[in-house]
């Protein structure tokens, strides 16, 4: 269900994004950092859905708050002539990997469980067959 | 309740994905369209500040240029007026020199050639004296001569014509001159000639005494300049 929503959202976004007007190159660095923040939020949201502690308010506030904070940090960095956005990217990517790890573990465990169940079932049926025969 | 929560979660995540991919694709497009290598990895901000700096510098240079131009103009005007005045002064100086006899001059006039000695009917030897020359010069002046010279000694206002050594050596401007005496005068040819040669004129008198005198008119006489310094020691 969530996967389908993600797919539909991405495809629709791609269509709208390619048809959207071009923005000035000046804002490109801010936009990039906002993308990373939003990506982190989405992964965080998915992982929280998996962990079953998803909170809508936290997700939305995180989605926008992180992006805005990242942009502000980038602006501050440009004003101070320090590349602060690198720190933001490091943190977001770190969290992305962590969340991705959670998601991966969940699905791998799910699959292994399923495989085990199938094997068990097959063994059971085999036993049953043997018993029958 | 649980189902409703799941739907909201799905919709929220879908919407966030939508927003994310929108800005992502916008960014992709932007990066694709922008020729980054051409601005040599310089950020627009830097370029903008650079441009601002250059503009400021240009403006400064421009104002400086204008100021300099103005001063240059002033100097030019000054120089122009200076050259004007100097030209005027130069002209004046030339005129003064001309009148003083410090320049070579040319013009129409007459040339008088006097042979020094002659013998009269009684066999006496007569010679031209400084008085004769003085009278001739005075008559030339009277007739309106503008420049006079005797044997290329220019007659100026302080010139002397004098004989020393028992009336044997003729001095003009303190310089010894020898016969024949050639007197050049620039002025109206007719006046000069008629004044001298006409009846009662000094040359008329001298010719009657038997001196050999030639008077020639000429349209182009060159009279040399006074070749000593005109100094004043006591005048103030």
ipTM for this prediction: 0.72
Question: Is there a single domain that holds both residue B113 and residue B213?
Answer: yes
Token output for B45? 């901000």
- Residue B54's pLDDT band, with cuts at 50, 70 and 90, is very high
Cα separation, A2 vs A49, whole angstroms: 9
Task: Taking residues B75-81, report their average pLDDT.
Answer: 90
Question: Is there a single domain that holds both residue B121 and residue B209?
Answer: yes
- Asked whether residue A111 is assigned to any structural domain, the reply reads yes
- Asked whether residue B229 is assigned to any structural domain, the reply reads no
- Asked whether residue A66 is assigned to any structural domain, the reply reads yes
Nearest residue in chain A measured CA to CA from B48: A26
Q: Which of B59, B75, B100 is the C-terminal boundary of a domain? A: B100
Question: Is there a single domain that holds both residue B57 and residue B131?
Answer: no
Given the DSSP bridges, would you call strands B105-114 and B153-155 parallel, antiparallel or unpaired? unpaired
Question: Is there a single domain that holds both residue B93 and residue B197?
Answer: no
The Cα diameter of chain B in Å comes to 173
Question: Is there a single domain that holds both residue B73 and residue B133?
Answer: no
| Domains contained in chain A, number | 1
Question: Is there a single domain that holds both residue B176 and residue B95?
Answer: no
Q: Which of B52, B72, B100 is the C-terminal boundary of a domain? A: B100
The answer to whether A59 contacts B24, with C-beta atoms less than 8 Å apart, is no
Nearest residue in chain B measured CA to CA from A8: B14
Residue-number span of the structural domain to which B167 is assigned:
105-223
Helix B189-197 / helix B130-142 crossing angle, nearest 10 deg: 140
Burial of B222 (0-12, 13-18, 19+ CB in 10 A): middle
Question: Is there a single domain that holds both residue B126 and residue B141?
Answer: yes
Alpha helices in B101-201 (DSSP H): 130-142, 189-197
pLDDT in tens, B140-183: 888 888 899 988 888 888 888 888 877 778 888 888 888 788 89
> What is the least distance, in Å, from the CA of B1 to any CA of chain A?
14
- Most B CBs within 10 A among A4, A6, A44, A59, hence the mutation to make, goes to A6
Q: What are the angstrom distances between the C-alpha of B220 and each of A9, A106, B152, B180, B184?
A: 115, 129, 15, 21, 11
Question: Is there a single domain that holds both residue B181 and residue B207?
Answer: yes
Residue-number span of the structural domain to which A65 is assigned:
27-124
Q: Which range has the top average pLDDT, A34-38, B56-60, B80-84, B187-191? A: B56-60
Question: Is there a single domain that holds both residue B161 and residue B142?
Answer: yes
Q: CATH number for the domain including B110?
A: 3.30.70.1880
Nearest to A1 by CA among B36, B4, B26, B143: B4
Residues facing residue B106 across a β-bridge: B222
Q: Which of B54, B81, B100 is the C-terminal boundary of a domain? A: B100
- Asked whether residue B172 is assigned to any structural domain, the reply reads yes
Q: CB of B201 within 8 A of CB of B132?
A: no
């Amino acid at each position: 269900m969530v996967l389908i929503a993600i797919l539909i959202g991405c495809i629709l976004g791609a269509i709208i994004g390619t048809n959207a007007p071009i923005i000035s190159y000046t804002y490109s660095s801010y936009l990039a950092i906002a993308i990373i923040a939003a990506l982190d939020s989405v992964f965080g949201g998915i992982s929280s859905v998996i962990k079953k502690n998803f909170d809508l308010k936290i997700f939305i506030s995180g989605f926008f708050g992180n992006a805005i904070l990242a942009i502000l940090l980038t602006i501050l960095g440009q004003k101070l002539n320090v590349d602060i956005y690198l720190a933001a990217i490091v943190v977001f990517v770190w969290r992305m990997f962590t969340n991705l790890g959670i998601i991966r573990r969940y699905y791998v465990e799910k699959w292994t469980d399923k495989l085990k169940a199938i094997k068990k079932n097959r063994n059971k049926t085999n036993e049953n067959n043997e018993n029958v025969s | 309740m649980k189902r409703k929560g799941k739907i909201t979660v799905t919709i929220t995540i879908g919407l966030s994905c939508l927003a994310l991919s929108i800005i992502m694709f916008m960014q992709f497009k932007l990066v694709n369209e922008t020729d980054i290598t051409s601005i040599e990895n310089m950020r627009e901000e830097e370029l903008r500040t650079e441009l601002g700096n250059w503009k400021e510098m240009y403006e400064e240079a421009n104002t400086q240029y204008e100021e300099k131009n103005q001063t240059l103009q002033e100097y030019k005007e000054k120089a122009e007026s200076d050259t004007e005045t100097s030209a005027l002064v130069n002209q004046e100086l030339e005129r003064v020199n001309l009148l003083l006899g410090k320049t070579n001059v040319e013009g129409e006039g007459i040339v008088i050639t006097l042979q020094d000695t002659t013998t009269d009917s009684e066999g006496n030897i007569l010679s031209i004296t400084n008085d004769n020359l003085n009278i001739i010069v005075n008559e030339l002046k009277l007739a309106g001569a503008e420049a006079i010279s005797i044997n290329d000694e220019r007659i100026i206002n302080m010139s002397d014509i004098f004989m020393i050594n028992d009336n044997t050596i003729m001095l003009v401007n303190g310089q010894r001159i020898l016969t024949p005496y050639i007197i050049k005068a620039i002025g109206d040819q007719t006046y000069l000639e008629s004044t001298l040669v006409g009846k009662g004129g000094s040359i008329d008198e001298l010719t009657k005494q038997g001196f050999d005198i030639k008077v020639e008119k000429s349209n182009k006489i060159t009279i040399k300049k006074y070749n000593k310094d005109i100094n004043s020691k006591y005048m103030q």
